[in-house]
Structure 1
């Protein structure tokens, strides 16, 4: 508000106070303003409470003392504040009521995911054995980095055979370098079955084993699997991990197993077949050597050559290979 407008309002207020019988036209003439300007100034004085409309007054207004105007203003503000606080209180009550239902509503959108910590390699191995024994449909595993120790190959083959006997579908991903190691290549050739498929890739993001559609085992530290693993239970999260596995699977290359011809089983002579049958029956080396009439040292060399011809690394693998080829009957 400029100074001229404020001066006009002060003069009008004083004139109405001193001359309650004047008309609005007389007031405008006295302050030398138009009738519209006088009317606008009176409206502004009404808005701040210094004038009150009065139909009996010639100018249409009566003055209100500043003290009364302030009192009325504060009373109006207090009423508005009280109304606002009541409105806020109602909103607070409505929100509090909704908050009581929110945890239940939020839980309806959540699926429980249980994460079990397996801090040592021994606990991880035991858990994997139990999970493999209880899975119903499939096991999918991804193995970046180096190969497992050679001494575990027979145990791995036994576990494979057990899962195959239960009709469990097994898919495995290895890094390409791992599959080129001789004892791993021999294991993978023996591990390939109707219900098992192995693939290799140049890069795999992390070690991961998926059992059915509700259990995943992931390393605590992807850079060092010896630090243990997490066992994740829950369909939603495991489904996402299956999607990651699918991507790696479709960008990998199948590993072709050795065929019966590769094993050259048809070239085995009667003595070699006899040794393999005894191995399959669990006969000890000294008994086999005695049966053949050779020394244990000679038997050892004989076995080394036989395993090499079959393209395997261990005697257990050799027994599986010739059983596959139907040479033990």
Structure 2
């Protein structure tokens, strides 16, 4: 009976012997049970740890056994506590696994590429992607070609590029090729952050928006996926299909990018900071700003800001 409650045979024998004769000593236990003294002493220590033996009040240094009923209650309580601790550990492990599944950090470009390959290869419904910047490196496009082709044959694919890719023949050519494979491709000045959503269940975003080499965050939290998808759909609705002319400019001849840039620079952002906010290069910002200054007849950024405000461009 005691064995089912966690006592090994020697511990049962020692405890039973002390229940029968509380005054029995180590030497006598050794002789009765045919065990080495060290094993008897280790077993006594174990029984003390289990609270089945307690210091004797009558014999200093001696031990006294608790009753069998009390001992069984103690062992049952101990087993219940161990089972509860085990359940808590399992629950904590499951929670940790769920957290890892819902948000996983991928450090470095190789880890990100490996995860993207697995996600796209397993896509079953739809892939949504936003690609910021005024150009995508030719080497990057070439490396993605095979995977993109396979993906577009199996699932719906929608891609958003920043409007400024119109100035990059390589990126535009790739976008057209993707459209030929079956993807839907649109352009928008609002594409300022990189984003990939697969099957409405998994999203990949950069850990640091403007430092792709740091890595990415892979998330599967339904609430967050819903928000990111809503953002994509909002931009998609206003975006222009690849091959179609850009939306009409404002009466002043300003494109959405021109107007957004003027506001950012008026707020005191540097070219580099404005470029990061818009998802384009600082070189493109300087080119756009040079054109705006020429149109405004301004010789400095400050003069351009004053004139833009006077004309109601801000």
TM-score w.r.t. the length of structure 2 is: 0.44
Structure ID, larger Rg: 1
